[in-house]
Chain A
Amino acid sequence: MKAHVYVSLKKTVLDPQGKTIQGALKKMGYQGLGDVRQGKFFEIALNGGLTKEQATAEVEKMAREVLTNPVIEEFRFTVEE
């Protein structure tokens, strides 16, 4: 099984890296550019015969307790067979 975890800054938190990337893209002439926000992406392989339900619970806990700081970040994830 494989889990994909996407971590991004909360909407209410300023993202200076995203802002800088947006500025660079604008300078390069990309049209119709709105807000740009960046984040982190984790691809996690799960071994050891967990059920999908167990794996989902495990990944959710991992993301909540370790991969993100709830003060500034939020996450979403998927688990695939």
Chain B
Amino acid sequence: MKFGVLVFPGSNCDHDAYWTLKNVAHQPATFLWHESHDLENCDAIIVPGGFAYGDYLRTGAIAKFSPVMESVKKFAASGGLVLGICNGFQIIAESGLLPGALMRNAGLKYVCKNADVRVEATDTPFTNACKEGEVLTIPIGHMDGNYYCDDATLAELERTNRVVFRYCTPDGRVTPEANPNGSLENIAGICNEGRNVLGMMPHPERSGEAILGCADGFKIFQSMVNVGVNALAAR
């Protein structure tokens, strides 16, 4: 399974994601520059964290107009796997690949810590290696992670089981205290209708192997690799 990691000016988690894919998951991976339309026949795209184009106007506001995102939108529409992490989530939400928006944290502060998230849906290419209700510890580091959408969109997300992760206590209870940024319904990650696009604020690449203190995040990459393995077996 070939992974492409997008690189914008200001991306700063691109190398971490690349490392995890290449050296932990042992998959072919390549960087894809923001000015290129060519996704180089990748099977999955990672939109990494950071501050694309500086995020000066609004997170993801300029990145959504980049040539590479035009190709990513087409790729996603044809069923390709797209994982947006943190700033990547903000970018794909701005691009319209996912509904809603990531607003300034309710506490107005940058939050950087380990977060516990409960896996709410395992029928996605990003969580098939997880158990339903499993609690993963994955670091967060963001200023604008406060997920918002209107009531109709929220109802639709819930009805179609597209809330993939929720912030929770270490024992898996979804409480206001466990919500680090004011996100609606403790939402930490959602997927699109086709379930092939996932956006999440926590950084799985920062908990991608044991030496980092926690390897829970690796399950996200493992799940994506499983999709490739299963596709090969079905051939």
Contacts and interface: CB of A to CB of B under 8 A. Distances in A.
A72 B106 contact: no
Contact of A71 (B62, B100, B106): B100
Contacts of B101: 69, 71-72
B57 A66 contact: yes
Interface in B145-162: 146, 148-150
A20 interface: yes
Q: How would you classify the secondary structure of chain B's contact residues: helix, strand, loop or mixed?
A: loop
Interface residue range, chain A: 10 to 19
A55 interface: no
A16 B106 contact: yes
A28 interface: no
A17 interface: yes
A16 B182 contact: yes
A45 interface: no
B185 to A, nearest CB: 14
A71 B61 contact: no
Interface residues of B, number: 21
B148 A71 contact: yes
A69 B58 contact: yes
Interface in A1-42: 12-14, 16-17, 20
Interface in A37-74: 66-67, 69, 71-72
Contacts of B25: none
B116 interface: no
B108 A71 contact: no
Contacts of B93: 71
A72 B108 contact: no
Contacts of A72: 101, 103, 148
B14 interface: no
Nearest to B107: A16
B205 interface: no
Contacts of A14: 106, 148, 182
B94 interface: yes
Interface string B178-197: 00001000000000000000
B57 A67 contact: yes
A12 B27 CA distance: 45
B94 A20 contact: no
A67 B150 CA distance: 20
Interface string B101-138: 10111111000000000000000000000000000000
9 contacts: A12-B150, A14-B182, A16-B106, A16-B146, A66-B57, A66-B65, A71-B93, A71-B149, A72-B148
